[in-house]
């Protein structure tokens, strides 16, 4: 069976590595090197990091180890939260190129080859200004948030948020803690963050429905906790799309995987873990794409649903609400909460509701968690 994978990011390479025994694979990649320019904070859970060891020497990409997060309100109040596992800060350029090298051992990889049209299972490619077409038994769209495979084949599209991030001088509260900055002043529908690489260098960014640049400047210039810890040097600027909302990712002999399918945690924007799970399940069930979809949904749809309900809070909470929740969070035991599985946080909800004395905040939380939209 001959399979085309469009895109050599982690979704494309991990999928090829999981399909190697079942198909003859050709990967088409538009760029000269995937993973560059970087569009990622590089934060993944310890479990995800360990699972990636099956595919490459992921420890080579490790920059820092993280044990938890500070949840910070717009007024600067914060709670320290440490879940079930820690996380790792990795360098995506290194991870993506190691995965590409491994994929190259089992697949025909065609770099600088952009897919521009697809009809049925014939795809059209432009490479070095030459156009050609080729037929495949199945097409896998691993071509990111702006997926051409999805557009050409008429898949629905997720909502697109945007991320902008500086690699910059920044004095972390603690080197092994990420910082999350909530509030509508710093993002439309999401949050800002700092991911430390060392004591004084971090990836400082904002994910937002719109205008991440404007919110990032405001975070850096005005946030009571951030502005005084920012240094002068910016070493790198990265930005990219973040698709929020898993869509139906199987149609006929075509399947979408990774950002192309909205396989991103709706409450953090992290995509690596959910696409890794998808690549493994696709490998397990291929060529039965319906079974793949069914299994992925039965194992993960609850996580997407709970994740989206958490994200709804970012649209409706105000500064006072965050101040209250940060105080409550200090009293809650998060030790069983897993960053990749938001459903593990649900057991804390009754206690949180009990501690919320403010009726308006309680009703916002009911709206986010229990009302269908």
Ligand X SMILES: Cc1cc2nc3c(=O)[nH]c(=O)nc-3n(C[C@H](O)[C@H](O)[C@H](O)COP(=O)(O)OP(=O)(O)OC[C@H]3O[C@@H](n4cnc5c(N)ncnc54)[C@H](O)[C@@H]3O)c2cc1C
Residues at the site binding ligand X, with contacts judged by CB under 6 A: 6-12, 28-31, 34, 39-44, 114-115, 142-144, 148, 163, 165, 205, 238, 240, 242, 258-260, 264, 269-272, 275
Shortest distance, CB of residue 154 to ligand X, whole angstroms? Answer: 16
Shortest distance, CB of residue 354 to ligand X, whole angstroms? Answer: 33
CA dihedral angle for residue 115, residue 105, residue 100, residue 269, rounded to 10 degrees: 90
Of 162 and 324, CB closest to ligand X: 162
Shortest distance, CB of residue 27 to ligand X, whole angstroms? Answer: 9
Say how many residues make up the chain. Answer: 373
User: Which residue is nearest to ligand X, using beta carbons?
Assistant: 271
Of 49 and 322, CB closest to ligand X: 49
Residue written as token pair 């994929």: 103
The dihedrals phi and psi of 229, each to the nearest 5 degrees, come to -110, 5
What gap in Å lies between CA 266 and CA 370, rounded to an integer?
Answer: 17
Closest CA to 176 of 267, 14, 65, 81: 65
Shortest distance, CB of residue 79 to ligand X, whole angstroms? Answer: 21
Of 124 and 185, CB closest to ligand X: 124
Shortest distance, CB of residue 37 to ligand X, whole angstroms? Answer: 10
Shortest distance, CB of residue 52 to ligand X, whole angstroms? Answer: 11
Which residues lie closer than 8 Å to 91 by C-beta, 6 or more apart? 42, 61, 63
Sign of CA dihedral 332, 336, 339, 344: negative
**Beta carbons of 367 and 314 less than 8 angstroms apart:** no
Number of helices (H) and strands (E) in the chain: give both, helices first. 10, 19
Of 272 and 328, CB closest to ligand X: 272
Of 118 and 328, CB closest to ligand X: 118
**Beta carbons of 195 and 203 less than 8 angstroms apart:** yes
Of 25 and 242, CB closest to ligand X: 242
Could you tell me the CA-to-CA distances from 143 to 27, 165, 187, 254 in Å, in that order?
11, 21, 27, 13
Angle, helix 272-285 to helix 10-19, in steps of 10 degrees = 20
Shortest distance, CB of residue 195 to ligand X, whole angstroms? Answer: 7
Of 275 and 356, CB closest to ligand X: 275
């Amino acid at each position: 069976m001959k399979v085309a994978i469009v895109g050599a990011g982690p979704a494309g390479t991990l999928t090829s590595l999981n399909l190697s025994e079942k198909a003859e694979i050709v990967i088409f990649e538009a760029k000269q090197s995937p993973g560059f320019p970087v569009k990622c904070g590089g934060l993944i859970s310890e479990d995800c990091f360990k699972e990636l060891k099956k595919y490459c020497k992921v420890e080579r990409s490790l920059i820092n180890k993280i044990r938890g997060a500070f949840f910070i309100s717009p007024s600067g109040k914060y709670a320290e939260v440490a879940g079930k596992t820690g996380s790792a800060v990795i360098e995506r350029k290194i991870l993506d190129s190691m995965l590409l090298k491994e994929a190259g051992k089992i697949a025909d990889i065609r770099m600088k080859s952009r897919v521009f049209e697809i009809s049925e299972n014939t795809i059209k490619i432009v490479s070095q200004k030459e156009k050609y077409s080729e037929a495949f038994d199945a097409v896998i769209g691993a071509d990111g948030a702006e997926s051409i495979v999805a557009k050409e084949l008429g898949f629905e599209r997720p909502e697109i948020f945007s991320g902008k991030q500086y690699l910059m001088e920044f004095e972390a509260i603690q080197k092994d803690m990420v910082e999350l900055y909530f509030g509508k002043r710093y993002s439309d529908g999401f949050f800002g963050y700092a991911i430390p690489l060392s004591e004084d260098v971090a990836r400082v960014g904002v994910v937002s429905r719109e205008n991440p640049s404007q919110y990032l400047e405001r975070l850096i210039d005005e946030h009571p906790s951030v502005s005084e810890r920012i240094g002068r040097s910016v070493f790198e600027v990265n930005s990219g799309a973040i698709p929020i909302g898993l869509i139906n990712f199987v149609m006929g002999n075509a399947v979408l995987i990774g950002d192309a399918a909205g396989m991103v945690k709706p409450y953090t924007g992290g995509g690596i873990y959910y696409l890794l799970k998808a690549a493994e399940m696709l490998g397990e069930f291929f060529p039965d794409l319906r079974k793949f979809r069914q299994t992925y949904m039965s194992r993960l749809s609850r996580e997407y649903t709970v994740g989206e309900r958490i994200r709804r809070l970012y649209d409706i909470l105000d500064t006072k609400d965050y101040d209250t929740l940060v105080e409550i969070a200090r009293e809650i035991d998060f030790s069983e909460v897993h960053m990749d599985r938001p459903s593990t946080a649900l057991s804390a909800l009754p206690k949180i509701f009990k501690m919320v004395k403010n009726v308006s905040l309680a009703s916002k939380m009911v709206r986010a968690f229990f009302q269908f939209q």
